[in-house]
């Protein structure tokens, strides 16, 4: 196989189901791009069209964040996912965020809302910038997301919350509190008296200030602006993908349900591991994602494919798509015809990876509990066989690594005549992607 001279500008995964958005473009679109470059590139197309934007940007922590990719049963390969160091200082960070917010404002539709997820470091500064862009009257809440995590401070109170600033684009904004209601449930309430009426309906009463307050167990409770009921992702949480700073799906579910309807467009321009995109898909919202990290792109691709036939999405490469150095892929292709005569004969193409050598050097990555002598298929995290049409790669079938798998299937079979040239798209565990054609 030889690498393609001209790389496609992206890939298009067709879901082939009725709910997919194929008629007017994909259901979801991910841009592998720096946010300012990527957002200015989409303003023309999406101006005033996005219903909900959630951003979880770098917090100015001064830290480097990692993606700990599971390899084999117990191993890890540690990558740098992104840096949150702002060597040029706070002004540089705030100027960058101001530019992002200006794009956010023009992308939102008049019914739209914006949720900015930050913490104590920058919340006050960003609030002032956002008040200017959105107008003070359009600031709706500062949500406190309080969580329990390890570690206790000794010289001040422990910092156990994030701040989520909630703005509307205009007073016409859509907000659905009903969608967030949860039944009070049967939990015993201290200091309250339980009563059961003639119909068997259970209520709890409490006397306060000379008045009696009554709550029915089957009535709903709604979240306030302090969220204590959503746990952050602990070390062994099954949701955890290994991408530092990944947020829980329950958090995004609450935000998406509150401020969008099925079919609306939800966007996240610092997508990371793809929590927003994944929850948007599960709640039948269209989505736009963006991230400059190749690891974020690779993690999002697999996470979205894992959702199965519900999804239909494109990934555009505005980042670097060609890795430095040369990789080597050896593939065996066989075409069989069944039955080999007659009009209805069917062709089966079997494509098998025989060997692969990555372009990058594994020594720049930290390996834990992994046999250093990785070879062949063990390097491959995702691969697909498909066609290039126009500037896009259309995978026909793809295979990807799940947690705990040391190797993925080395064979893909395709049925049909396959008139066009078949192309292989491969992403290795180092995060590099390559496109190859048959010689």
Ligand X SMILES: C[S@@+](CC[C@H](N)C(=O)[O-])C[C@H]1O[C@@H](n2cnc3c(N)ncnc32)[C@H](O)[C@@H]1O
Q: Kindly list the residues in this chain that would bind ligand X in the complex (CB under 6 A).
A: 34-35, 56-58, 81-82, 243, 245-247, 270, 272-273, 275, 290-293, 296
The Cα–Cα gap between 281 and 268 comes to 13
Residue 118's closest CA among 62, 65, 64, 163?
163
* Least distance between ligand X and beta carbon 10 (Å): 16
Closer CB to ligand X, 112 or 274, in the complex = 274
Q: How far apart are CA 427 and CA 378, in angstroms?
A: 12
Q: How far is the CB of 223 from ligand X (least distance, A)?
A: 20
Separation between Cα atoms, residue 361 and residue 365, nearest integer Å = 8
CA neighbours within 13 Å on the CB side: how many for 373? Answer: 0
Q: Are 67 and 243 a contacting pair, CB within 8 Å?
A: yes
Nearest-CB residue to ligand X? 272
| Cα 1 to Cα 4, 100, 355, 398, distances in angstroms | 9, 42, 11, 18
Q: Please, what is the minimum distance in Å from the beta carbon of residue 429 to ligand X?
A: 18
Minimal distance in Å, beta carbon 295 to ligand X? 8
The minimum distance between CB 117 and ligand X, in angstroms, equals: 7
Name which of 118 and 351 has its Cβ closer to ligand X. 118
DSSP 345-382: -EEEEEEEEEEEE-SS-GGGSEEESS-S---GGGGEEE
Burial readout 167-201 (b: 16 or more C-beta within 10 A, e: otherwise): bbbeeebbeeeebbeeebeeeeeeeeeeeeeeeee
Minimum gap (Å) between residue 31 Cβ and ligand X: 9
Shorter beta-carbon distance to ligand X: residue 246 or 298:
246
Select 130 or 300, whichever has its Cβ closest to ligand X.
300
Minimum distance between the CB of residue 141 and ligand X, rounded to whole angstroms?
19
Of 295 and 349, CB closest to ligand X: 295
Task: Give least dist CB 283 to ligand X, A.
Answer: 16
Alpha helix stretches (DSSP H) within 223-263: 249-259
Q: H or E element: which one contains 102? A: helix 90-107
Sign of CA dihedral 435, 22, 294, 429: negative
> Residue 39 or 351: which CB sits closer to ligand X?
39
Q: Between 258 and 292, name the residue whose CB sits nearer to ligand X.
A: 292
Closer of 105 and 270 to ligand X (Cβ):
270
């Amino acid at each position: 196989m030889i690498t393609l001279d001209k790389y496609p500008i992206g890939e298009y995964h067709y879901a082939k189901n009725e709910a997919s958005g194929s008629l007017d473009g994909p259901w979801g679109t991910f841009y592998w791009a720096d946010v300012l470059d990527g957002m200015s590139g989409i303003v023309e197309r999406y101006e005033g069209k996005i219903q909900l934007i959630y951003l979880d940007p770098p917090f100015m922590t001064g830290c480097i964040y990692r993606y700990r990719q599971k390899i084999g049963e117990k191993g890890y390969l540690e990558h740098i996912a992104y840096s949150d160091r702002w060597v040029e200082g706070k002004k540089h960070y705030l100027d960058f965020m101001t530019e992002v917010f200006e794009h956010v404002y023009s992308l939102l539709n008049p019914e739209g809302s914006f949720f900015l997820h930050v913490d104590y470091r920058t919340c006050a500064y960003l609030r002032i910038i956002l008040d200017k862009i959105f107008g003070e009257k359009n600031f709706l809440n500062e949500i406190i997301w309080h969580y329990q995590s390890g570690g206790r401070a000794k010289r001040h109170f422990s910092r156990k919350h994030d701040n989520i600033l909630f703005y509307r684009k205009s007073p016409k904004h859509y907000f659905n509190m009903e969608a967030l209601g949860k039944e009070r449930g049967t939990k015993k309430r201290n200091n309250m008296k339980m009563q059961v009426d003639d119909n068997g309906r259970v209520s709890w009463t409490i006397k306060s200030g000379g008045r009696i307050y009554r709550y029915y167990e089957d009535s709903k409770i709604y979240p306030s602006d302090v969220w204590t009921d959503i746990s952050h992702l602990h070390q062994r949480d099954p949701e955890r993908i290994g991408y530092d700073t990944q947020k829980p799906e329950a958090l995004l579910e609450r935000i998406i349900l509150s401020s969008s309807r099925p079919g609306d467009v939800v966007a996240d321009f610092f997508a990371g591991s793809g929590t927003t995109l994944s929850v948007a898909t599960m709640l039948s919202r269209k989505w736009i994602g963006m991230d400059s990290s190749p690891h974020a792109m690779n993690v999002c691709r697999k996470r979205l494919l894992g959702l199965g036939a519900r999804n239909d999405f494109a990934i555009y490469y505005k980042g670097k798509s060609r890795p430095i150095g040369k990789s080597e892929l050896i593939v065996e292709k066989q075409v069989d015809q069944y039955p080999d005569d007659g009009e209805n004969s069917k062709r089966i193409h079997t494509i098998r990876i025989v060997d692969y050598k990555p372009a990058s050097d594994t020594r720049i990555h930290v390996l834990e509990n992994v046999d250093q002598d990785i070879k062949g298929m063990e390097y491959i995290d995702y691969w697909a066989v498909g066609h290039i049409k126009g500037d896009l790669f259309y995978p026909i079938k793809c295979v990807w690594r799940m947690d705990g798998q040391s190797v993925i299937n080395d064979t893909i079979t395709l049925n049909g005549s396959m008139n066009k040239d078949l192309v292989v798209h491969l992403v290795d565990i180092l995060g590099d992607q390559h496109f190859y054609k048959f010689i």
